[in-house]
Every structure is written in structure tokens, then in C-alpha cells.
Chain A
Amino acid sequence: MLFKIYRYDPDKDAKPYMKEYDVELSSSDRMLLDALIRIKEMDDSLSIRRSCREGVCGSDAMNINGKNGLACVTSLATLKSPVELRPLPGMPVIRDLIVDMSQFFKQYHSVTPYLVNEQPAPDTERLQSPKERAQLDGLYECILCACCSTACPSFWWNPDKFVGPAGLLQAYRFLADTRDQSSSQRLDNLEDPYRLFRCHSIMNCVDVCPKGLNPTKAIGKIKDMLVKRMV
């Protein structure tokens, strides 16, 4: 199978280039990550991030044939040859397919991604009814792979100001949590023409999410909460 991979080592290369690899795959190579490991055996200078190899850690997010996804859960059978692999778009490249995620995590941290509850902790857990718990479905599963935010043009133009789909999905995850007590501060934090309202619902985030989540819907619910608060 033929692969074209983005290569760039800032210590050696003046500019990025695409390198071709013709890889002999074995019958056990099912996922794109398997092929990347084969390529790494051929050329150990290729740099990639990977860890869990089962779509849980979110390390191996990359642009696969023009669409963001995780190499470990992308079946080779679904890919058109030659497979073109590039780093996540709009992010500073550290080397080859490895990008600098600092800005992405800065936005994630800006939404206070943890439960805020000033009440003294009960002897056991802070309990929720099954219905309250169900509100978190489709939100808590986010693995922060950055596929969504780096597919979003608003995040490309304003990565320093727009929270991005991943951060906003996390923001809603805590707004939807009945145990959290800081909804008002959270909404204050998001009510901004850049932080929240750069989202124009183009839904690239929904299209690429490897976990099948819907950040646009979560963002819509944040806007609904703001409207409810105002009117």
C-alpha cells in the first residue's frame, strides 16, 4: 500500500515535504496505526505520537486523506491509496506528524474543566439520579484528541481567543452536571464574541469526531442556556 507522509524536521529541513512509502502489509495489519508502525520499522526517523492503540488516549490524531481522525481506529480497508497523512491542520508542527497542542489545552483549561461545588463533601459520593446522569452522555466521552478543534476554521483563525469545539463540549459537560454549582460563572466566562460566538455551526467538528460526539449540539445548548438566562 502506498503512503505519502508529511515530513518536517525543523533542525534539518528548510521546509516541509511529502515522502512516499510503499509498504508491504501483513494480514494482521488492520488499522492505519499498524501501517505506521511498519513504516517506522522501515524509517525510524518518522515521528508520530501513539499510546493506547484503541481510540482512548487520543494521541495519534492526524489528517488522513484530508480528514482528521485517529490512526488507531481508522481501518486500512476504508482508505484510498495513496494514503496522504499530514499533521493536524492549523497547529504548529514540532516534527513530522507531531503538533504542539499547547494552545488547544490552554483553551481546554480556560473553561474550568472540573466540578465546582462549595458544599461540604458528603460521606459517600455526590449522587445523581439516572436521569441526571444521562445528561452527561455524549459529553464525558471526549478524549481530547483535538480532531474537532483542528477541523474548525474559526479555531484556525482565532486559536488564541476561540475556545473551540472540544473546549466548548467540555464546558457544556460541566454546565449539564447537576452536581456543579458554578453555572452562572461558567456562562459569564463564555459570553464573549470570540470565546463562544465564533462558532457558526458549520459542523466540521461533528463530521470528524472519532468518538461520534456532537460538539455543535453542545454549543447550541450553551447558547440556549444564555438565552434562558437573558430573557
Chain B
Amino acid sequence: MVNRIVTGAHYGLKDWLVQRVTAAIMAVYTIVFGIVYVVSCPKDYFEWSYMFQPQWMRTITLLFFLSLFWHAWIGVRDIFMDYIKCTALRLGLQVLTILVLIAYALWTIQILWSV
């Protein structure tokens, strides 16, 4: 195969936008979590689990983690694009990253709805 430099994938804008939106979601959640923490001031496991009993708290916590994983995916993909020049290796690492992040997301749901 001829080794030519090819660009023009016509994506990137949505990812860039998503990174900003997810960062804003994480920032807002951090403030909300801080307020909830100060108000409920949990001291042991039961108080911590009680803090996550309301459905809205579980939902926004899940939203925070999904934002974190999506944000992390774009960041890690960018790092791979910079440093991993071998296409096959890069694709393999990207697929692995996606699978790990999906597993984390499922694990988060399991943890949040089991406490």
C-alpha cells in the first residue's frame, strides 16, 4: 500500500463540543454533591448509602459518571492519536478503552442501585 498522509475525516467538532458539555455537567455535579455532602454530613456506610437513596441523587450521579467516561474516552483517544502511530495497535487500544469504559458504566449502575 502507498503510504500517503491522509486527512479529512470530517469529524471532531461533536467530540470537541461533547468534551465541553460533559465538563460543564461534571462541574455542576461537583457543586451539587458538595452541597448534599455538607447538608447530610455522612459519617458511616449507612449514612453514605442513605445519601444515595433518593432517585434524583442516583440519576445525577449516574449522569456525572457517564459524562466522565465520555469525556475520558475523547481524551484518551486524543492521546492515542498523538502517540500511537501504528493503526492496528491504535485501533486495538481504542476498542479496549471503549470496552473498559462500558464495563465501568455498567458497574456504576450496579453500585448506585444496590446501595
A binds B: yes
Chain A interface (Cβ < 8 Å from any Cβ of B):
154, 157-158, 160-161, 188-189, 191-198, 200, 223, 226-227, 230
| Extra contacts besides A157-B82, A161-B7, A191-B13 (8): CB < 8 Å | A158-B81, A158-B82, A161-B5, A189-B8, A191-B10, A193-B81, A195-B7, A230-B14
For A196, the chain B residues whose CB sits under 8 A away are 12
Closest Cβ neighbor of B17 among chain A residues: A227
Closest Cβ neighbor of A161 among chain B residues: B7
Tell whether, in the assembled complex, residue A226 and residue B13 are in contact, meaning their CB atoms are under 8 Å apart. yes
Tell whether, in the assembled complex, residue A192 and residue B12 are in contact, meaning their CB atoms are under 8 Å apart. yes
For B14, the chain A residues whose CB sits under 8 A away are 230
Docked complex: B1-26 residues within 8 A CB-CB of A: 5, 7-17
Taking A223-B13, A230-B13 as contacts, is the C-beta distance between A192 and B82 under 8 angstroms?
Answer: no
Closest 5 CB pairs of A and B: A197-B12, A193-B12, A157-B82, A160-B5, A226-B13
A160 to B9, CA, bound (A): 15
Closest Cβ neighbor of A188 among chain B residues: B10
For A161, the chain B residues whose CB sits under 8 A away are 5, 7
Tell whether, in the assembled complex, residue B16 and residue A223 are in contact, meaning their CB atoms are under 8 Å apart. yes
Between-chain CB contacts (< 8 Å), 10 pairs:
A161-B7, A191-B10, A191-B13, A192-B7, A194-B9, A195-B7, A195-B8, A196-B12, A197-B13, A197-B16
Return the contact of A227 from the options B7, B13, B78, B81 (Cβ within 8 A): B13
Chain B interface (Cβ < 8 Å from any Cβ of A):
5, 7-17, 78, 81-83
Tell whether, in the assembled complex, residue A193 and residue B83 are in contact, meaning their CB atoms are under 8 Å apart. no
A52 to B14, CA, bound (A): 44
A163 to B15, CA, bound (A): 19
A188 to B12, CA, bound (A): 12
Instruction: Determine the main DSSP class of B at the interface with A.
Output: helix
Instruction: State the Cβ distance, B55 to closest chain A Cβ, in Å.
Output: 31
Instruction: State the Cβ distance, A212 to closest chain B Cβ, in Å.
Output: 27
A226 to B81, CA, bound (A): 22
Taking A154-B82, A157-B82, A157-B83 as contacts, is the C-beta distance between A193 and B5 under 8 angstroms?
Answer: no
Closest Cβ neighbor of A226 among chain B residues: B13
For B82, the chain A residues whose CB sits under 8 A away are 154, 157-158, 198
Instruction: State the Cβ distance, A155 to closest chain B Cβ, in Å.
Output: 11
A226 to B11, CA, bound (A): 11
Tell whether, in the assembled complex, residue A193 and residue B15 are in contact, meaning their CB atoms are under 8 Å apart. yes
A198 to B82, CA, bound (A): 9
Instruction: State the Cβ distance, B77 to closest chain A Cβ, in Å.
Output: 9
Instruction: State the Cβ distance, A143 to closest chain B Cβ, in Å.
Output: 26
Instruction: State the Cβ distance, B7 to closest chain A Cβ, in Å.
Output: 5
For B7, the chain A residues whose CB sits under 8 A away are 161, 192, 194-195
A223 to B14, CA, bound (A): 11
For A158, the chain B residues whose CB sits under 8 A away are 81-82
